[in-house]
Amino acid sequence: MYDPVPPEVRARLRALRILPRRAAGRRGIGMHHSRSRGAGLEFAQYRAYEPGDEPRQIDWKLYARSDRFFVREAERESPLTVWVLLDASASMVQADGARPDWTRLDAARALAACIAEVAMAQGDVCGLVALRAAGLQLVPPGSGPRQRDRLLLVLHELAAEGGFPDPQRLAPLWERVAPDDLVVLLGDCFDEDCIALAERLAAARREVLAIQLLTVEERDFPFRDGRRFIDPETGEELLGDGAALRAEFLERFGAARRALRSRFDAAGIRHAEYVLDRPLDEPLRRLFGAGRDPGGA
């Protein structure tokens, strides 16, 4: 079975927790508080014992003081639905010359598998939507070993091609991704439609997180000779001298990254960057690290 998560990364995933800003509000066994009462982990209130209550819920110390049976009620725990939205446009096949076998798409597949593993390990459900020019490829949310295998199979077979899907092809998202669901967007975030989708989801009460995937060459622009730069989505070419272009490229690319971060911040979207030479779990530790304030960026 295809497994893109290295063993050393998998070991570090155990320290991560996906903590939403809002309660999911549905009954289940996840780590997120709902508005219903019952036998859970967070104490809410006492109530009088009723036939059928489990003896383990009785507060025996309170009984010793009052000579009456009281049951401890707690907030029921509720599963969160986590959706991974993965940009599968042609720009995701970009890799670095030093490591041509590790593309943005490879990194996105591995990050998606990591997110699913963290979500399901804490009792939540996870689904996947691949965003392709031809339409959406969707794996409905689920949990357990079978769901893990479904996700890994789709990720393994996923190819990146064409442009980002037109807005009308994204309509099924609004039928599937419910308010209070948590969405993690994986992509290079170079396409305006991709950014606009994240902003629209956030404005519609979906909690959105974004991980922008960048190549080392985009970050450092190490070219010192003549180069032909090709847009993988449009095929447009630019001939230029790497050394002459470097300063302008880094200035403009840095400005674009800052502008993107500002847009995400304004929309309430937590975000992180992943550069292809960095540890795979680095952006996940930023977003899901233990003790992280879920309201922070």
For residue 292, the model assigns a pLDDT of 55
How many angstroms separate the CA atoms of 144 and 133, rounded? Answer: 30
Identify the band that residue 29 occupies on the pLDDT scale cut at 50, 70 and 90: very low
The yes-or-no verdict on residue 252 having pLDDT over 50 is yes
Which tens digits make up the pLDDT trace of 127-172?
999 999 988 999 999 999 999 999 999 999 999 999 999 989 999 9
Q: How many CB atoms lie within 10 A of CB 217?
A: 17
CA-nearest of 212, 106, 200 to 159 is 106
The residue written with tokens 């999911």 in the block is 24
| 297 has a pLDDT exceeding 80 | no
Please determine, for residue 37, whether its predicted confidence score (pLDDT) is greater than 60: no
> Are the C-beta atoms of residues 108 and 87 closer than 8 Å to each other?
yes
Span 203-233, pLDDT tens digits: 998 999 999 999 999 999 999 888 878 777 7
Element (H, E) at 6: none
Q: How many residues does the chain have?
A: 297
CA-CA distance, 126 to 116, in Å (whole number)? 6
- Which pTM was predicted? 0.80
pLDDT tens per residue across span 38-70: 344 455 567 787 665 667 778 888 878 888 887
17, pLDDT greater than 70: yes
| Average pLDDT for the chain | 87
